[in-house]
A and B are shown apart, each in its own frame.
Chain A
Amino acid sequence: MWHLKLSRKKQTYLIAFCFLVVPLVLLSIFSYYPIVRGITLSFADYNMLTGETKWVRLKNYRWLFNYKYFYISLANTLKYLIVVPFIQFTSIGLAVLVNQKIPGIKFFRTLFYIPVITGSVIVSIAWRWIFDVDGILNYFLMSLNIIEEPVLWLLDKNVALFSCMFVTFWRGLGYYMIIYLAGLQNIPSELYEAAALDGAGSFKKFTKITIPLLRPTMLLCFVLSSMAALKVFEEIFLLTGGANQTTTLMFETYNLAFNRYQFGQSAAVGVIFSAFLIALTLIQFKFFGLGGAGSEKKRKKTNK
């Protein structure tokens, strides 16, 4: 009979199961399965039309190691990390600037945040056109006598990647500014008052109070932005289309699969790329402690 009361323990299991089953099924299909299948696919040829998988062992990887753009994309992905410290230090500066209590500051915060909210496509297209040979940027720099002749911002293979990085930088500042602002506002103002009583100047207050207490936020932001830098796609796709030696691992994963239909090779790039990111995450976990439990401990410590 159904309305016989279930024991509390059984009820708990039943509820836990009901709450978790759909999310877990979705995670299995779209997160766990792709991990396993992605690895096996990298050792196979996949035919999209017939759905057939042919086992080819290391052929995809061998092909990749002879593929010129694999090395270029790997190097570019690493080079892209240069953008991280620039974003971080600039956005800390911005956060300090907009953390002041002066009239109209919310308006400025909003303006700085606009590039984040408008989306990568709008932003990238706008910049693509500013970077044009006859574009406003060249005109600007030439009229200020900074450069003598137009720079091929997106076409010169020595410059193009840096142009993309600049857009990533410009677009990311507002996002990290907000996170740092949250960090700054978490610092109790009594600390500053006490320091002021002890005669500390604003520089001393910044280096002795702000920076040390902002450290957990800084770590979080460094992790987030280095992940984002390694996974960069939109800027490359929309600014240069991967041409002029601006291809990255993420772009190559896309390009091999969806322009050239070489699914196996693309999966192989994906595996190498993932291994790469996992290594990086593990390094960063050393700072954070593992998973939820570690970060809780850390958070408690820093809150006190």
Chain B
Amino acid sequence: MRKKGKKQINNKKIIKITLNYVLLIILALFFIFPFLWALSTSLKTATDVLAWPPKWIPKPATLDAYKYVVENIPFPRYFLNSLIITALGIIFNVVFASLAAYPLARLEFKGRNLLFFLILLPMMIPIQGGLIVNFITILNLKLFDTYLAVVLPSAVNIFGIFIMRQNYLSIPRDLEDAARIDGCNEFQLWWKIMFPMVRPAATALSIISFAGFWNAFLWPLIVLQSQNKFPLQVGLSYLNSMFEQNYRYITASLIIASIPILVFFFFTQRYFIEGYQGALKQ
């Protein structure tokens, strides 16, 4: 009797796990289907693209579309531009947030809370209202069509300041006092004691900034003019309007453009997902 009961439970478990995997696989297909379909189309011959009913597996497969796209489109240039913009953005975000959050969390001075409130205030107010004004400011600063123009308006990450402040707050007072007794001045205290303690938070922040700057689209579209400064996202939308109905070229460029970010994500995904979780947990 007892044995039979155990077996039933076991069977139930197996069915449950199988159902789980079936569900997971269906969902996975739902999420990557557009990429698979793009991959298939990009490998088709010009006549097969228009075949009806659509062919799932390209036969014969050809790299013609890739060849055309690579020869006619400055992908490495777009990619490099994206890298420059993202790197600048991350550096600004992390440095400014680590700096600004420190006095707000650890130093006692008059007006500190008011200042913190003032810094959080723009979070409530959408940057969309500032789209035109910032555009005019960039023109007036003679920064139009520069990388700096893309990065500067979001160089100070308010959410970042918030995260960093929370982390500085959680450092025990004793540590600070001990360093003071050892003769650290305020700056050394920050650089040698405080900043190393919040490094995990800074890492999380840089991951969030990475996603933000790498995928930025509207603002770079507005402030950049020369094609050789376009980041990947802007370059791609430019191509899209150029090729319009030529699916082979569009899909081939989509696949090429996704590869770097997917490879990057593949190797860093653990940090990526942990970064998001870390920033929200505490």
Q: Which residues of A contact B (CB under 8 A)?
A: 11-13, 15-16, 19-20, 22-24, 26-27, 29-35, 37-38, 41, 46, 48, 51, 94, 97-98, 100, 102, 105-106, 108-123, 125-130, 134, 136, 139, 143, 170, 173-174, 178-179, 181-183, 185-186, 217, 220, 231, 233-234, 237-238, 250, 253-254, 257-258, 263, 266-267, 270-271, 273-274, 277-278, 281, 291-292, 296, 299
Contact = CB atoms under 8 A, between A and B. Distances in A.
List the 3 shortest-distance A-B pairs measured between CB atoms, nearest first. Answer: A34-B130, A182-B277, A16-B103
A12 B187 CA distance: 10
B24 A97 contact: yes
A36 B266 CA distance: 44
Contact of B20 (A11, A100, A178): A100
Interface string B146-158: 0000001111101
B9 interface: no
Contact of B109 (A13, A130, A292): A13
Contacts of B254: 122, 125-126
B17 A179 contact: no
Interface residues of B, number: 94
Contact of B17 (A98, A102, A120): A102
A115 B214 CA distance: 14
Nearest to B189: A15
Interface string B124-164: 11111111111111011000000000001111101001100
Interface stretch (B69-77, B114-122, B171-179): B114-122
A32 B130 CA distance: 9
A267 B132 contact: yes
A129 B280 contact: no
Contact of A38 (B97, B109, B120, B133): B133
B132 A292 contact: no
B133 A178 contact: no
Interface in B26-41: 27-28, 30-32, 34-35, 37-38
A270 B222 contact: no
B187 to A, nearest CB: 6
